[in-house]
Chain A
Amino acid sequence: MRYHNFSFALLTAFAVLQTTAQAEVKVGLVTDVGRVNDRSFNQSAWQGVTEACEQLGAEEGKDCKYIETRDAKDYADNIDQFIEAGFDVVVSVGFALGEATASAAAENPETFFIGVDQFQGAPLPNLAGLIFNEDRSGFLAGALAANLTESGTIASVLGTDLVPPVVAFGEGFIAGAKYIKPDINVITTYHPGEISQAFTDPEWGAATTKQAIDKGADVIFGAGGITGNGALQEVAANEGLFCIGVDTDQWLTLPAAHPCLVSSAMKLITPGVIDLIKTFSDGTMTSGNYFGGSALAPFHDFDDQVPAEVKTQLAEIKTGLEDGSIKTGYGQ
């Protein structure tokens, strides 16, 4: 008993020591244009920073801060604020900050940079791009959709095929659906416009969804920013159909889709950011591309409509995708 107490005290002392030692870590986050509480990428990343800071004993608001970007031209200035103040880790959120982040990383080799959703073509030793296997999230969504469909037809309404992650979502969705029901009919539609329109066209999303529903689709996967949201909202206007969101848990971001939103194909940004910050505080800089996890969002109000065996099956598929026993077929 006494021995246990002693070792417990020792452990506590060690933990305290470690905490005080690691409170040296200062973490800054630069958002993409928008709010830090956008219930999307910015918020997920900031949540990762705050949780990592809590675990490392750094004080939010002092050692861990964020700057909301107001104008796309300010990316570099905002990153500079943290560098000038001697922060150790700078997290920048979103594909658009990739260039500014890479050039800041090249100029400041002592600072560790985490670029959320930034693919690293030319890796730097102090820059980690947190990216995702979208095909795996799409695969899980497809498997769920195939289990839910009664008509045997499902659909995906997607942003432009000019953007590789969108194609990964779409291809993964097909593969996942066929994995459950090999003869399933999947209607896949990409937005025909350029990048600046493809993700901001809810009318196209709604119209395309309507066409898919007319062809018998009863589960629709909407993946493509506001375009995808238009698809989800169109599904919500119909009785008895299901829709699946993308990126973050859209139950929280898009209440208008509640009537149909059974789940979302998520990129797990929060745990990815936490892991990367912790590897830095452990003394290593992860560099190059770091793959975050993929998962389905909670079923929320639809929890009792998804049979227990389907839930088990989805969990098995998730494990299978992670250990490589199940392949999505995308990019291989």
Chain B
Amino acid sequence: MPESIKRIARAVSSALLVPIMALIVAFALGAVVMTLFGDDPVAAYQGLYDGAFGSAKAWARTLLKTTPLILTGLAVAVAFKAGLFNIGAAGQFIIGTVCSVAVGIHFEGTPLLIHLPAALLAGIAGGMIWGAIPGLLKVYTGAHEVITTIMMNYIASLFAGWTVYAGGRQGQSPGPLWDPTARAISETPDVLTSAQLPLMGNPRLDLHLGIIIAPLAALLIWWLIYRTTFGFEVRTVGRNADAARYAGMYPRRTTVMAMALAGGLAGLAGAIETLGLNHKFAPEFGGSVGFEGITVALLAQTHPLGVVFAAFLLGSLEAGASRMQFESGVSADIIDVIQALVLIFVAAPLIIRSLWPGKRSSLAAGTKTQ
């Protein structure tokens, strides 16, 4: 018994070594960069902490920033489990947004218990389709998913722009979701109250139900990946598709399903952001959460529950950025620097492991867990 506990402890500490060290080194280097620019890193990090955790409002900000990152992080992590690199969370997110808005602004008079789930499901379905297309292209044509998901991102953002196009004087017709009362501005109307995610607690904090849905989704994905046949197939295909086929699995079907699942998660992220927070879509809402999902997934070592913590970490960085600028005058770009450093170190674990005063053997063992 103590032996097995020790083994689990060793496995956990080995898994956590890289992300934690990556964070420490990234923050230390961030401090060096600030010092070089004549800024005060202590004041900056104090401001960052205050902005993320200093008050109820700050906590709310952090949770709201974390929510979409959990889901886009899962979208990347799930694909990783199947041996796929999903760069398309950004596009799947946008499609999820557009689909949920399309349902959310129509069907007036529908009760919340039907309208809200329908809008959420529309977002998930849109994302699933957007994710499944690169999966299908991969298994039937061999097109690499990195290329196709990037291209699907462009298509998604142009399509989304078209849906809210405000029209022009030269006779072009406006997009189907455009809000005519916004006149020349390209945006949708607000989604109806019956499709908005209910707020919890103090309404000034904007804490919507989505902040609970996202961690639950992580739990569900963990169960799906580690406790079901489908998950076993995903992981097997991810390790070795040929072996999976010999074992009687269908790697093609699994690849498409994994990409659809990934897309559905990113689509849900878009739906939650829209139905919970923005209540409408405008082209400039695209944002970067889709790409930050990659950092989240890598920092979490693609573990679904790790994604929650990694998203929380990145979310708190995002939430604290304004306060940090306000308190210390340090440009918020330093947040991007720190995120990039974290990404470099988790993507290149050998750099971190070489900093760790361990045995060569543990170094080799550690890299194998990647």
Which A residues are within 8 Å of any B CB, using their own CB? 61, 65, 67-68, 70-74, 77-78, 80-82, 84-85, 96, 160-164, 190, 192-196
Which one of A73, A96, A190 has the highest number of Cβ atoms from chain B below 10 Å of its Cβ? A73
Once the chains are docked, how many angstroms separate the CA of A73 from the CA of B323?
Answer: 15
Chain A positions within 8 Å of B169 at CB level: 161-162, 190
| Structural contact, B283 and A196, CB atoms closer than 8 A | yes
Once the chains are docked, how many angstroms separate the CA of A162 from the CA of B61?
Answer: 35
What are 15 A-B contacts defined by CB distance under 8 Å?
A: A61-B329, A65-B329, A71-B287, A72-B287, A77-B61, A78-B322, A81-B323, A82-B326, A84-B57, A160-B184, A162-B166, A162-B168, A192-B168, A194-B168, A195-B166
Chain A positions within 8 Å of B186 at CB level: 194-196
Chain A positions within 8 Å of B332 at CB level: 67-68, 70
Mask, B26-65, CB within 8 Å of A = 1, is 0000000000000000000000000100010100010000
Distance (Å) between the CB of A91 and the closest chain B CB? 14
Once the chains are docked, how many angstroms separate the CA of A78 from the CA of B287?
Answer: 17
Mask, B184-201, CB within 8 Å of A = 1, is 111000000000000000
Chain B positions within 8 Å of A96 at CB level: 284
| Structural contact, B284 and A80, CB atoms closer than 8 A | no
Mask, B277-291, CB within 8 Å of A = 1, is 110000111011000
**Is the CB of B361 closer than 8 A to any CB of chain A?**
no
The 7 A-B pairs at the shortest CB distance, nearest first, are namely: A162-B184, A72-B284, A81-B326, A192-B170, A78-B322, A67-B325, A194-B165
| Structural contact, B322 and A72, CB atoms closer than 8 A | no
Chain A positions within 8 Å of B277 at CB level: 73
**Is the CB of B305 closer than 8 A to any CB of chain A?**
no
**Is the CB of B321 closer than 8 A to any CB of chain A?**
yes
Once the chains are docked, how many angstroms separate the CA of A80 from the CA of B168?
Answer: 36
Distance (Å) between the CB of A61 and the closest chain B CB? 6
Distance (Å) between the CB of B120 and the closest chain A CB? 20
Name the residue of chain B whose CB is nearest to the CB of A66: B325
Once the chains are docked, how many angstroms separate the CA of A71 from the CA of B165?
Answer: 21
Kindly count the residue-residue contacts between A and B in the assembled complex, taking CB atoms under 8 Å apart.
Answer: 66
**Is the CB of B161 closer than 8 A to any CB of chain A?**
yes
Distance (Å) between the CB of A138 and the closest chain B CB? 19
| Structural contact, B184 and A67, CB atoms closer than 8 A | no
Name the residue of chain B whose CB is nearest to the CB of A84: B57
| Structural contact, A195 and B57, CB atoms closer than 8 A | no
Distance (Å) between the CB of B143 and the closest chain A CB? 29
Which one of A78, A85, A96 has the highest number of Cβ atoms from chain B below 10 Å of its Cβ? A78
**Is the CB of B331 closer than 8 A to any CB of chain A?**
yes
Name the residue of chain A whose CB is nearest to the CB of B166: A194
**Is the CB of B167 closer than 8 A to any CB of chain A?**
yes
| Structural contact, B288 and A71, CB atoms closer than 8 A | yes
Distance (Å) between the CB of B188 and the closest chain A CB? 14
| Structural contact, A67 and B326, CB atoms closer than 8 A | yes
Given A162-B184, A163-B184, A195-B184, A74-B322 contact (CB < 8 Å): yes
Name the residue of chain B whose CB is nearest to the CB of A67: B325
| Structural contact, A160 and B168, CB atoms closer than 8 A | yes
| Structural contact, A72 and B326, CB atoms closer than 8 A | no
| Structural contact, B287 and A73, CB atoms closer than 8 A | yes
Name the residue of chain A whose CB is nearest to the CB of B184: A162
Once the chains are docked, how many angstroms separate the CA of A89 from the CA of B332?
Answer: 22
Distance (Å) between the CB of A264 and the closest chain B CB? 24
Chain B positions within 8 Å of A65 at CB level: 326, 329
| Structural contact, A194 and B284, CB atoms closer than 8 A | no
Once the chains are docked, how many angstroms separate the CA of A77 from the CA of B61?
Answer: 8
Which one of B165, B169, B186, B326 has the highest number of Cβ atoms from chain A below 10 Å of its Cβ? B326
Name the residue of chain A whose CB is nearest to the CB of B332: A70
Distance (Å) between the CB of B261 and the closest chain A CB? 27
Chain B positions within 8 Å of A190 at CB level: 169
Name the residue of chain A whose CB is nearest to the CB of B283: A196
17 other contacts beyond A193-B168, A195-B166, A195-B185, with CB at 8 A cut-off?
A61-B329, A65-B326, A65-B329, A67-B322, A67-B325, A67-B326, A68-B332, A71-B287, A71-B288, A74-B322, A81-B51, A161-B169, A164-B184, A194-B166, A195-B186, A196-B161, A196-B186
Which one of A73, A96, A193, A194 has the highest number of Cβ atoms from chain B below 10 Å of its Cβ? A194
Chain A positions within 8 Å of B287 at CB level: 71-73
Contact partner of B278 (CB less than 8 A), chosen from A70, A73, A196, is A73
Which one of A72, A77, A96 has the highest number of Cβ atoms from chain B below 10 Å of its Cβ? A77
Name the residue of chain A whose CB is nearest to the CB of B169: A161
Chain A positions within 8 Å of B326 at CB level: 65, 67, 81-82, 85
Once the chains are docked, how many angstroms separate the CA of A331 from the CA of B335?
Answer: 46
| Structural contact, A68 and B325, CB atoms closer than 8 A | yes
Chain B positions within 8 Å of A196 at CB level: 161, 186, 283
Chain B positions within 8 Å of A162 at CB level: 166, 168-169, 184
Distance (Å) between the CB of B52 and the closest chain A CB? 12
Mask, B253-293, CB within 8 Å of A = 1, is 00000000000000000000000011000011101100000
Chain B positions within 8 Å of A192 at CB level: 168, 170, 172
Which one of B283, B285, B322 has the highest number of Cβ atoms from chain A below 10 Å of its Cβ? B322
Mask, B154-180, CB within 8 Å of A = 1, is 000000010001111110100000000
Once the chains are docked, how many angstroms separate the CA of A196 from the CA of B335?
Answer: 28
Distance (Å) between the CB of B189 and the closest chain A CB? 14
Name the residue of chain B whose CB is nearest to the CB of A77: B322
Distance (Å) between the CB of A53 and the closest chain B CB? 15
Once the chains are docked, how many angstroms separate the CA of A221 from the CA of B184?
Answer: 23
